[in-house]
Structures are given as C-alpha cells and as structure tokens.
C-alpha cells in the first residue's frame, strides 16, 4: 500500500539564495525511532520514507548506520528506493562512523553526511572527557573526513543550547571553514526558552565569520514543551532548517513536531513570511501511518493531527462555525488532509462510494488490498451502526501490518464472569497445510485463556510483555484496538488489531505476532539454505 504522490516535487530552492525558504529535515526514522518502544523494521521504514517523500520533506534522516546492521540496511534501502529528498545518515566524529554512513548512502541521488559532537561544558567534562581545543579539533576532523566523500555535510553541536555562546560560535566558525554546508544548533535536552534560543541564533549570525556560507539549522527537544516554540523563534531569528519528526516523536519527550511547525509558518505567514515545500494535505495520512506503525498513539487534543483538532463540541462554537467557519477555525481541515464533509458510509454503501473514500483520503490500494479492505468494511458495517472515518482508516492501516498466514481464525469462544474460571476455546486453520486445530485452555482472565489456547495450537510458548486496549472510534459499538508486545527467542514482536469485539481483536493481534514470527523464521531458514547451497556450489 502506498499513499498517493499528490503533486510533483518543485525544483529544490536553496535557502542560501532564497531568504524565506525553510528546509524541513525529517528525523522520524532516526531521532523518532529513539522513542522508547518505537523501533521499526526495514519494510516499515521504507513505507514511512515513501510517505515522507510524498509529504515533500527536503531531507530524510534515515538512520545512524554504525548503530546496527539493521540501521545500515534501512539507510541503504531508503537511499536506493526513495528518490527526491536528500537522504542523510548520522555519524559521530570518527572515521568508522563516517565510512559506514557513506557506504549506506552510496545509491542516494542526493546524500548528506550528518556528523555531530557535543560542545557543552557538562558533555565535554563528564561524557567525552575532552577539552575545548580537542572538541574543535575533532569537529573539524569529522567535517573534513565527511567532506572528502560528500559535498553536503551537516555538523551538529550536540547540546548547543547549554554551550557557552562564544565557544559555540568558535566551533561553528571552524566547521564552516572545514566545509560544513549546514550547521545545526540542537537544544538536545529541551532546556532553552524561545527568547533565549532566538538570542543564541542572533549571536551566531553576528559573531561567526562566513556564517552565510552555511544554512543554520535547529533541532529542538520537547522536555519543557518548548520544541516547536523554540524552533519557530529560531527561524524568526534567521535559522533556515528545522529538524523535526511526525507527531513530534523522539527521544524522551520527543522532538519538534513537523506538522505544528509547518502549519504555524503557513497559517501565520503574515508574521513569519516564510515558506516550506511541504504538501500539507499529506500531513494527516502521514501522521496516521507513523502512529500505526510505531504504536505511539496521538493524543486526542494534539494540535493539527489529534482527533479533536478540528472538532467543535460547544454550542456557541458550533453556532459560530455554522455561520462562518473562520470564527473558530484558523486552518481548514482539508489543508492538512482531514476531510471536513464526511461522505457517510454504511452497510448499504457499494464499491464506488468506498473507492471514492479511499482515494479522497490519500490511499492507493492494489486491487487485492482494495477488495480485502472492502470486504472487511462490509463485515464491520454489519456490526456497527455508525461508521466513522477513523473506523475505515483503522481497517486500511491495519492491513499494512497484517500477517494473515499461516494461522487463521475459524472460531473463538471465551467464557468469564464473577466466580467463574475464565476459559477459551479456539479453532485455527493452518492455511498452507489446510489443517484445522482446536484447543481449549483456562487462564487468569479470558485473554490469558485465549492466548494459552493459541499457544497450544501453534506448539510454542511466548512471553506477553505488553497488552494495551484503546477505543479508537466513538459510540457503544466503538472499535477497540489491541496493541501487544511479545517476546519470542529474545526478540520483541509487536502486533495490533482492531475489531468491535475485543476478544477477536486480542486473538488477531496475537496471531499477527505468531504469524510474523513463523514467516520470519521460515525466511531465515530459506536464506540459510540458499547460503549453504552457494557455498557448496563454490567449492573447488
């Protein structure tokens, strides 16, 4: 499944020659992935990178290639497959990191090596054990090594917001001299206040020789809820790149939220007089995709993409909006990809209306995906009186991660109640072998009983690490979303499912994990067998 690429990517504008263009550097796949619990696999990262391309971000930071073979592979695959934006790879100021980043970026059309080194006193003394002179030397060395490979090099002075401004200016001047084309000023621990951060950018602009030879970037964390405010204060002061993530995910309290920064600059163009290249209509679908894949839910009242962001409950507001939308709406929901006029879909709707909905919401489904989504929609419409957009989105997005085989549900029965021993009976079909197996079990609750019965059918045990139930739509017949994390062979697998019946959703989420594990194990065995065959073939 791929989101529509809505419009052509316009010629890249160089912010050094256009005073009011702000570069959007997305780090959902790198800093965003540093959110505890947000790890993504290779195919999920590629799907997100494609969505970021369609959103028209300027730079995708695809990962930190030295961090792990998986990170390296993800950066390499995105560099190969996602054309348009610049692809960046992160590296410490050391040769092996820079070499690894360069290897991973080889196939990208536009590539950037992003080197970083902390500059603040606390990081120098306690973390790096380096004096100021060594910091300058290592930073210059890092940029020089990266420039030997690549024309586009970014240097980040980690913890810049807590660095002595004059020392920061010295580092920035020296890395520009060494060839850095972007200099990033991170508020790594979310400590800055907007006026102070703005003063810091002014300080660099007035104290760094040749500051105009590089783009000033900012990378703000949200520990005090200031990430967006600080980023906006910085662009007002002359920074021309914002590093941000979808839904503001990232290390600890997260990063500057892309959708908030972009929509603030767009909605208050009168104040900022700045532009980005973002296709704002792709914001909402991208937000949904990221939340679906990472399992990090967006709070209802989150600006721009929260479920309530464009909802009016109060009578006085509703009255105002009915008379004139702008009385209580400063942005149009359509501008961020949220439909304002809902086409009401229900059990009597046919394929045309459903296809219309799918296309209007920015999805491109293959014939098979469409048919599966339509059938699932009909089943849901039979069970549920009111179908909301969120119901259908859940149903389509759910298809993205679905591991349908080999084990499929034939029937589920659970029994629980006060003073009753919870029991579950399940019948599963092994699709490949056309084998039907039934098992029953007791447990500490109906879900525990259900999971034990499933373990008996598939023949192995797993450890449930996390189980979350959330209502994702409204009404008595709301759909429940189950998100689980399960440990098998020392690895964590995640599963998710949505249904009006939470026992069914629980079983499907569990089978999602079991099937994912079985499929992956089979792929590894097949790869190992192919490798062994090659070795045998290669023998003299």
Ligand X SMILES: CC(=O)SCCNC(=O)CCNC(=O)[C@H](O)C(C)(C)COP(=O)(O)OP(=O)(O)OC[C@H]1O[C@@H](n2cnc3c(N)ncnc32)[C@H](O)[C@@H]1OP(=O)(O)O
Ligand Y SMILES: CC(C)C(=O)C(=O)O
Q: Which residues are annotated as a binding site for Mn(2+)?
A: 31, 219, 221, 255
Selected range binding ligand Y among 143-151, 182-190, 300-308, 391-399, rule: CB under 6 A: 182-190
E strands in 307-433: 363-364, 407-415, 423-430
Q: Identify the residue among 63, 84, 186, 446 touching ligand Y (CB under 6 A).
A: 186
Interface with ligand Y, residue 35, by CB under 6 A: no
Q: Is residue 184 a contact residue for ligand Y (CB under 6 A)?
A: yes
Pick the binder of ligand Y from 219, 361, 402, 508 (CB under 6 A).
219
Q: Which of 271, 207, 274 is nearest to 238 (CA)?
A: 274
Give which of ligand Y, ligand X, none residue 66 binds (C-beta under 5 to 8 Å, depending on kind).
ligand X
Q: Toward ligand Y, which CB reaches closer, 186 or 398?
A: 186
Shortest Å, Cβ 66 to ligand X: 5
Buried residues in 399-434 as b, exposed as e (16+ CB within 10 A)? bebbbeebbeeeebebebeeeeebbbbbebbbeeee
Per-residue DSSP letter, 87 = E
The two three-digit tokens of residue 14, written as one number: 């160089």
- Residue 93 contact, options ligand Y, ligand X, none, Cβ 5-8 Å cut-off depending on partner type: ligand X
In the complex, residue closest to ligand Y by CB? 186
3-class DSSP state for residue 163? Answer: coil
What binding mask, one character per residue, do residues 458-497 give for ligand Y by CB under 6 A, x or -? Answer: ----------------------------------------
Residues annotated within a binding site = 31, 219, 221, 255
Dist CA 154 CA 147 (whole Å): 10
**C-beta of 87: minimal distance to ligand Y in Å?**
16
Residue closer to ligand Y by CB (options 56, 219) is: 219
- Contact (Cβ atoms closer than 8 angstroms) between residue 436 and residue 428: yes
Verify binding: residue 217, ligand Y, rule CB under 6 A: no
> What is the widest separation between alpha-carbon atoms in the chain?
84
Q: Tokens 């306690």 label which residue?
A: 126
What is the nearest approach in angstroms of ligand Y to the Cβ of residue 221?
6
Rule CB under 6 A: choose which of 28, 182, 188, 292 binds ligand Y. 188
Q: Does 116 bind ligand Y (CB under 6 A)?
A: yes
* Alpha carbon distance, N-terminus to C-terminus of the chain: 45
Helix pair angle (227-236, 194-207), 10° resolution: 40
* DSSP string for 383-398: H-S---HHHHHHHHHH
How many other CB atoms sit within 10 Å of the CB of residue 84?
19
Are the C-beta atoms of residues 509 and 393 closer than 8 Å to each other?
Answer: no
Binding site for ligand X (CB under 6 A): 31, 34, 64, 66-67, 92-94, 116-117, 127-128, 158, 188, 251
Is 116 or 354 the residue whose CB approaches ligand Y more closely?
116
User: Distance from CA of residue 414 to its chain's centroid?
Assistant: 36
Q: Are strands 111-118 and 23-26 parallel, antiparallel or unpaired?
A: unpaired
Decide whether 175 or 274 has the Cβ nearer to ligand X.
175
- Paired with 111 in beta bridges are 87
Candidate list 26, 58, 97, 158; residue touching ligand Y; CB under 6 A: 158
- Rounded to an integer, what distance in angstroms lies between the CA atom of residue 368 and that of residue 538? 41
Closer Cβ to ligand X, 476 or 491, answer by number:
491
Please identify, among the stretches 74-82, 180-188, 274-282, 440-448, the one whose residues bind ligand Y according to the rule CB under 6 A. 180-188
Which entry of ligand Y, ligand X, none binds 64, CB below 5 to 8 A by partner kind? ligand X
Please give the residue ranges that form the binding site for ligand Y (CB under 6 A): 31, 116, 156, 158, 184, 186, 188, 219, 221
């Amino acid at each position: 499944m791929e989101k529509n690429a809505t419009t052509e990517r316009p010629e890249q504008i160089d912010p050094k020659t256009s005073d009011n263009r702000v570069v959007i550097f997305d780090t959902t796949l790198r800093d965003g992935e540093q959110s505890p619990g947000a790890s993504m696999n290779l195919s999920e990262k590629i799907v997100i990178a494609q969505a970021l391309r369609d959103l028209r971000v300027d730079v995708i930071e695809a990962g930190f290639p030295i961090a792990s073979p998986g990170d390296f592979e993800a950066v390499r695959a995105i560099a190969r497959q996602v054309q348009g934006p610049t692809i960046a790879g992160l590296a410490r100021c050391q040769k092996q990191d820079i070499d690894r980043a360069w290897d991973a970026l080889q196939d990208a059309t536009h590539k950037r090596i992003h080197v970083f080194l902390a500059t603040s006193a606390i990081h120098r003394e306690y973390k790096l054990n380096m004096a100021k002179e060594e910091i300058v030397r290592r930073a210059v060395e890092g940029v020089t090594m990266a420039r030997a490979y690549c024309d586009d090099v970014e240097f980040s002075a980690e913890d810049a917001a807590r660095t002595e401004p004059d020392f920061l200016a010295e580092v920035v001047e020296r890395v520009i001299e060494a060839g850095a084309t972007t200099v990033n000023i991170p508020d790594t621990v979310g400590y800055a206040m907007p006026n102070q951060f703005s003063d810091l950018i002014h300080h660099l602009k007035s104290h760094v020789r040749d500051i105009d030879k590089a783009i000033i970037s900012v990378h703000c964390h949200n520990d005090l809820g200031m990430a967006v405010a600080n980023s906006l204060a910085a662009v007002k002061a002359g920074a021309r790149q914002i590093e941000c993530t979808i839904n503001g995910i990232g290390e600890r309290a997260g990063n500057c939220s892309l959708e908030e920064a972009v929509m603030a600059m767009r909605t208050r163009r009168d104040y900022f007089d700045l532009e980005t290249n973002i296709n704002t209509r792709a914001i909402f679908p991208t937000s949904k995709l990221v939340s679906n894949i990472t399992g990090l839910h967006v709070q209802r009242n989150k600006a721009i993409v929260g479920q309530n962001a464009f909802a009016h409950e109060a009578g006085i507001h509703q009255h105002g909006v009915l008379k004139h939308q702008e009385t209580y709406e400063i942005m149009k929901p359509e501008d961020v990809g949220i439909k304002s006029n809902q086409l009401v879909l229900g059990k009597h709707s046919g394929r045309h209306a459903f296809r219309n909905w799918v296309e209007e919401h920015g999805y491109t489904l293959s014939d098979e995906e469409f048919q599966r989504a339509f059938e699932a929609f009909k089943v849901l419409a039979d069970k549920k009186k009111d179908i909301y957009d969120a119901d259908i989105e859940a149903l389509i997005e759910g298809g993205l991660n679905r591991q349908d085989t080999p084990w499929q549900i034939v029937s589920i029965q659970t029994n629980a109640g006060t003073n009753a021993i919870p029991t579950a009976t399940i019948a599963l079909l092994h699709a490949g072998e056309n084998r039907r197996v039934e098992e029953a079990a007791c447990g500490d609750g109906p879900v525990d009983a259900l999971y034990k019965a499933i373990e008996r059918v598939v023949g192995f045990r797993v450890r449930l690490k996390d189980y979350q139930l959330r209502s994702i739509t409204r009404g008595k017949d709301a759909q429940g979303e189950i998100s689980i994390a399960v440990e098998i062979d020392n690895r964590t697998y995640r599963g998710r499912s949505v249904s009006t019946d939470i026992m069914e959703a629980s079983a499907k989420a569990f089978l999602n994990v079991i099937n994912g594990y079985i499929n992956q194990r089979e792929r590894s065995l097949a790869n190992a067998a192919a490798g062994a065959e090659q070795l045998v073939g290669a023998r003299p």
